[in-house]
Amino acid sequence: MTLLDCTVVNCTYNRDKSCKRNDITVIGKDARMSSETCCGSFAPKGCGCGVNSAALAHKDTHVDCEAQECIYNESRKCSAKHIGISGGHADKVQETECGSFVCQ
């Protein structure tokens, strides 16, 4: 599992810069830089996604990765020990990114 920090404050799964999901997917199959990646698991606050507000925030998260050129992508799984998802006040998936993406 990967240690995940998230600054996407508008995501329904974000609590205290941590992701409440147990797993996320980083998308951007042909990405060559982090701005070409996105958190495919992003859901805007108020989306009615049924998140249990009593759930504990998770720091360790399973990260599926579609970014084929990232050095951390090993068989579509992120091998980085620590990543950061950024996007501040994003309103849609395309406004997020994997800040830890490193092109081979």
pLDDT tens per residue, range 5-32: 999 999 999 988 888 888 999 999 999 9
In a domain, 31, yes or no: yes
The span from the CA of 63 to the CA of 14, in Å, is 15
pLDDT at 50: 55
The verdict on residue 104 lying in a domain is no
For the chain, the domain total comes to 1
- Name the burial class of residue 48, with classes exposed (0-12), middle (13-18) and buried (19+) by CB atoms within 10 angstroms of its CB: exposed
Give 48-55 contacts, CB < 8 A, sequence gap 24+.
Answer: 49/12, 51/12, 51/13, 51/20, 55/20
Q: Is the pTM of this model over 0.95?
A: no
Confidence of residue 56 (pLDDT cuts 50, 70, 90): low
CA neighbor of 43 nearest in space, from 7, 92, 88:
92
**65 is in which domain, residue-wise?**
2-46+57-98
51 falls within a domain: no
User: Per residue in 66-104, pLDDT tens?
Assistant: 999 999 999 999 999 999 999 999 999 999 999 999 999
103, part of any domain: no
Q: Is residue 19 part of a domain?
A: yes
Determine the Cα–Cα distance for residues 38 and 85; give it in Å rounded to an integer: 8
Domain assignment present for residue 6? The answer is yes
> Tokens at residue 57, please?
């925030």
Q: Does 25 reside within a domain?
A: yes
